[in-house]
Structures are given as C-alpha cells and as structure tokens.
Amino acid sequence: MWWRRFKRKQRFRRKKQITYLLLLALMFSMSLGYAVLNTSLNISGISSLANAKWDIHFDNIVVKENCSFFGDFRKSWRLL
C-alpha cells in the first residue's frame, strides 16, 4: 500500500539525515583537532602587578522609604 512505501521513504530519509549530521560532526571535530595539534603557543617573559587599593567610599547615599528591590520583581512576576 502507498502508506507503507511512504513510511519506508521517511525512515530512509531520516537515516540519511542522521548519517549526514554524523559526517558533519566528524569533519568538524577532525578539523578542530588538527587546529589544536598544529598550534604552538610560546609564552616568555616576566610580569608583575602593582599593589592595588580596594578602599571604596560612597558619598551622598539616599535610601527612599518603602522601597525594596523585590517590590518591582513581585509585580512583574504576577504579570507572567
């Protein structure tokens, strides 16, 4: 019957697609491996970091009354 032929064709197409995807993944991994193995990285030299000050001050901070971070979040959550 026609639906059996149709199902067989679908199975063949699916196998063909999977084969192509596997070949593409294999080619990608081989090219990536070749690039990694063919790259050489030479690092030489001396570096140093100067002492840093982590002394941070905030001036003129104003806190509003009845203000919270989660207030707006709760309102937007209700809309979802």
Tell me how far CA of residue 28 lies from CA of 18, 22, 34, 35, 72, in angstroms.
Answer: 15, 10, 10, 11, 46
Q: What is the pLDDT of residues 20-52, one digit of tens each?
A: 999 999 999 999 999 888 888 788 888 777 787
Q: What pTM does this model have?
A: 0.41
Per-residue pLDDT, 80 = 46
| Exposure of 1 in the CB half-sphere (CA atoms within 13 A) | 3
Q: In which band, very low, low, confident or very high, does the pLDDT at 4 lie, cut at 50, 70 and 90?
A: confident
Q: Is the pLDDT of residue 76 over 90?
A: no
